């Protein structure tokens, strides 16, 4: 299939976990109603984006959140990229994990955020994910009958080699559930999304939470779908919404034939 409709669920994440799950389910329903065959939720969609709170909301697989995601994927016959949640493993470590379900509700993959967001920006965001989280250690590329796509979580988008690696594994779409804030969001969000799409000549989704004025960490919103030429096909502002757009996958081959940067790639000289 060369055309696929995707939905990005920009939900306003609250403190109440059950409310978040209900809201996410409803937004997946809206994406299905709009004709989407793939839908994406934002980073940490079942809990506030606060490092100290991740242990309180963490779940082992399979838990209440992943059960909801699996049930929604099969009920709506859609591929669901379940944003991310705090995932606890058997040893008690917690990861920032994106669970991906196919349209039968079967778990296809889990991506554990590989680059933890530990930053201290003067006059702006201070965040230490490593206080409570452990980093994942691999890239994640998933195939459905219609599409091969890669999944990264938020800060992973700042690492161009990470996106290139997923592209070389065949990803035609890169999906980043994310939660940029109001320090780096206005400065870097659109720039990074469009750059990763253009330098890999792929479609790219950035799925963000809506801004919740009551939250301690205020998300920037502005979820987007970008095409391989760097054009914005759909964009939200900071409010809660489901945005949708059609991806014509044949555009990838066209752009790569006209401007063959992947063929011109000189790995032989990129040594440090
Ligand atoms: N929240 C993140 O992981 C990343 C982010 O906000 C940024 O890179 O800026």
**Threshold 0.95, pTM exceeds:** yes
Distance 223 CA to ligand 1 centre (A): 14
What is the pLDDT, as a whole number, of residue 2?
Answer: 87
Mutational test site, ligand 1, from 154, 179, 216, max ligand atoms within 8 Å of CB: 154
**Among candidates 258, 198, 248, 254, which has minimal Cα distance to 228?**
198
- Check whether the bond before 62 is cis (ω within 30° of 0): yes
Whether ipTM > 0.90 holds is yes
> Residues for the chain: how many in total?
272
Closest CA to 211 of 236, 242, 238: 238
How far is 132 from 79, CA to CA, in rounded Å?
30
Domains and CATH numbers, the chain: 3-269 (3.60.110.10)
How far apart CA 48 and CA 64 sit, in angstroms, is 17
Give, for 146, the enclosing helix (H) or strand (E).
none
Atom 5 in ligand 1: which residue has the minimum CA distance? 180
Q: DSSP letter string over 210-266? A: PP-TTSSS-B----EEE-TTS-EEEE--SS-EEEEEEEETHHHHHHHHHS-TTTS--
CA gap 216, 125 in Å, rounded: 11
- Using a 6 Å cutoff on CB, does residue 192 contact ligand 1? no
Look at ligand 1, atom 4, and give the residue with the nearest C-alpha.
155
Q: How high is the pLDDT of residue 231?
A: 98
CA distances to 14, 16, 72, 77, 138 from 219, rounded to whole Å, are 12, 17, 25, 29, 26
Q: Please give the pLDDT value at position 20.
A: 98
pLDDT value of position 271: 87
Q: How many whole angstroms from 240 Cα to the centroid of ligand 1?
A: 19
CB of 180 within 6 A of ligand 1: the answer is yes
- Ligand 1 contact via 219 beta carbon (within 6 Å): no
Contacts of 10 (CB under 8 A, 6+ apart): 42, 207, 208, 209, 210, 221, 223, 236, 239, 240, 241, 242, 243
Element of type H or E holding 10? strand 3-10
174 touches 29 (CB < 8 A): no
Is the shortest distance between the CB of 117 and ligand 1 below 6 Å?
yes
Q: Which residues of the chain have pLDDT under 70?
A: 1
pLDDT at 1: 59
- Whether 177 and 81 have beta carbons less than 8 Å apart is answered as yes
Q: What's the longest Cα–Cα distance across the chain?
A: 52
Q: Which of 125, 155, 183 to mutate to test the pocket of ligand 1 (most atoms within 8 A of CB)?
A: 155
Which residue lies with its CA nearest to atom 9 of ligand 1? Answer: 184
pLDDT of 237: 98
Q: Which residue owns the Cα nearest ligand 1 atom 6? A: 180
179 ligand 1 Cβ < 6 A: yes
> What positions carry a catalytic annotation?
43, 113, 154
Give the residue carrying structure tokens 């995601």: 69
């Amino acid at each position: 299939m060369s055309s696929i409709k995707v939905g990005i669920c920009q939900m306003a994440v609250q403190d109440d976990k059950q409310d978040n799950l209900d809201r996410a389910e409803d937004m997946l329903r809206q994406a299905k109603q709009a004709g989407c065959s793939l839908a994406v939720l934002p980073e940490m969609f079942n809990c506030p984006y606060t490092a100290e709170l991740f242990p309180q909301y963490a779940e082992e697989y399979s838990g209440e959140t992943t059960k909801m995601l699996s049930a929604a994927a099969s009920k709506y016959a859609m591929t669901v990229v379940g944003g991310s949640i705090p995932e606890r493993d058997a040893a008690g470590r917690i990861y920032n994990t994106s669970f991906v379900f196919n349209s039968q509700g079967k778990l296809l993959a889990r991506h554990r955020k590989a680059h933890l967001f530990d930053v201290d920006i003067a006059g702006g965001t201070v965040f230490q994910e490593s206080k409570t989280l452990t980093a994942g250690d691999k890239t994640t590329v998933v195939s459905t009958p219609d599409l091969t796509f890669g999944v990264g979580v938020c800060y992973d988008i700042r690492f161009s080699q990470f996106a290139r690696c997923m592209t070389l594994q065949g990803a035609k779409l890169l999906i980043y559930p994310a939660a940029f804030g109001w320090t780096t969001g206005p400065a870097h969000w659109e720039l990074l999304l469009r750059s990763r799409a253009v330098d890999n000549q792929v479609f790219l989704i950035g799925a963000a939470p809506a801004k919740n004025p009551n939250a301690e960490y205020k998300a920037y919103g502005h979820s987007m779908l970008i095409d391989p030429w760097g054009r914005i096909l759909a964009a939200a502002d900071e409010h809660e919404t489901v945005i949708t757009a059609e991806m014509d996958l044949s555009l990838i081959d066209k752009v790569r034939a006209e401007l063959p940067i992947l063929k011109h790639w000189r790995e032989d000289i990129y040594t440090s």
